[in-house]
A and B are shown apart, each in its own frame.
Chain A
Amino acid sequence: MKLAYQSLLAGVALTVSSLALAAGELNLYNWGNYTSPKLIEKFEAETGIKVTITDYDSNETALAKVRAGGHGFDLAVPSHSHLPIWMSEGLIANARVDQMPNFKNVAKEWRNPDWDPGRQYSAPWQWGSVGVMVDTSVYNGDINTFGIILDPPEELIGKINVAPEMNDVISSALLYLGGEACSGDKELLRKVRDKLVEAKPKWKSMDYGVIEKFAGRDLAASLYWNGAAFRARLKNPDVRYGYPVEGYSLWADAVVLLKDAKNVEEAKTFMNFIMAPENAGLMSEFARYANSIVGSEAFMPEDMATAPEVVVPEEFIGAGKFYPTCSPEVQKMYTAIWTELQK
Chain B
Amino acid sequence: MILRRRSFVIKRMPGFTLLALACFFALYMPLAPLVVYSFNEGNNIALWEGFSLRWYQAAWENQLVQSAAIRSIVVATIASIIATVLATMVALATTRTRPYRGQTIIYAMVNQPLVVPEIVTAVALLILFALIKQATNYHGYAYLVIAHSAFCIPFAYLPIRARLEGMDRVLETAAADLYATPWRAFKRVTLPLMLPGIFAGAMLAFVISLDDVVITEFVKSAGQDTLPTYMLGQLRRSITPEINAISTVLLGISVLMVTLIFFLSRKKTA
Contact = CB atoms under 8 A, between A and B. Distances in A.
Are A and B bound to each other?
A: yes
Interface of A: 4, 7-8, 10-11, 14-15, 18-19, 27, 29, 31-34, 37, 52-57, 61, 64-65, 68-73, 209, 211-212, 215-216, 228, 231, 287
Given A70-B134, A287-B237, A54 B47 contact: no
Given A70-B130, A216-B47, A54 B218 contact: no
B224 A11 contact: no
B130 A11 contact: no
Given A4-B77, A31-B236, A32-B230, A15 B141 contact: yes
Contacts of B233: 31-33, 55-57
B223 A52 contact: yes
Given A33-B233, A33-B237, 7 more contacts: A4-B77, A11-B78, A54-B224, A61-B217, A65-B126, A69-B133, A216-B47
Given A32-B235, A54-B225, A57-B232, A8 B130 contact: no
24 contacts: A8-B77, A11-B74, A11-B78, A14-B71, A18-B141, A18-B224, A27-B223, A29-B222, A32-B230, A33-B233, A53-B223, A54-B225, A55-B225, A56-B233, A57-B232, A57-B236, A68-B126, A69-B133, A71-B130, A71-B133, A72-B221, A212-B44, A215-B44, A228-B238
Interface in B81-98: none
Interface residues of B, number: 43
A66 B237 CA distance: 23
B127 interface: yes
A70 B237 CA distance: 28
Given A27-B222, A70-B134, A55 B140 contact: no
B199 interface: no
B77 A7 contact: yes
B234 A72 contact: no
A33 B129 contact: no
B248 interface: no
Contacts of A69: 130-131, 133-134
A53 B233 CA distance: 12
Contacts of B70: 7, 10-11
A69 B220 CA distance: 13
Contacts of B73: 4, 7
A11 B71 contact: yes
A37 B65 CA distance: 13
B139 interface: yes
B46 interface: yes
Contacts of B229: 55
Nearest to A52: B223
B46 A72 contact: no
A18 B74 contact: no
A16 to B, nearest CB: 9
Nearest to B78: A11
Contact of B222 (A4, A34, A73, A209): A73
B108 interface: no
Contacts of B45: 209, 212
Interface string B149-184: 000000000000000000000000000000000000
B218 A64 contact: yes
Contacts of B236: 31-34, 57
Nearest to A8: B74
Nearest to A74: B222
Given A34-B237, A54-B224, A64-B126, A215 B47 contact: yes
A33 B234 contact: yes
A191 B258 CA distance: 56
B109 interface: no
Contacts of A61: 217-218
Nearest to A210: B238
B221 A71 contact: yes
A71 B123 CA distance: 14
Interface string B47-80: 1000000000000000110000011011101100
Most chain-A Cβ atoms within 10 A of its Cβ — which of B71, B123, B217, B222? B222
Contacts of B139: 18, 70, 72
Nearest to B222: A27
B21 interface: no
A15 B238 contact: no
A31 B238 CA distance: 13
Contacts of B46: 209, 212
B242 to A, nearest CB: 10
**Top 3 A-B pairs, shortest CB-CB distance:** A32-B233, A70-B133, A55-B233
A111 B193 CA distance: 72
Contact of B140 (A8, A15, A56, A73): A15
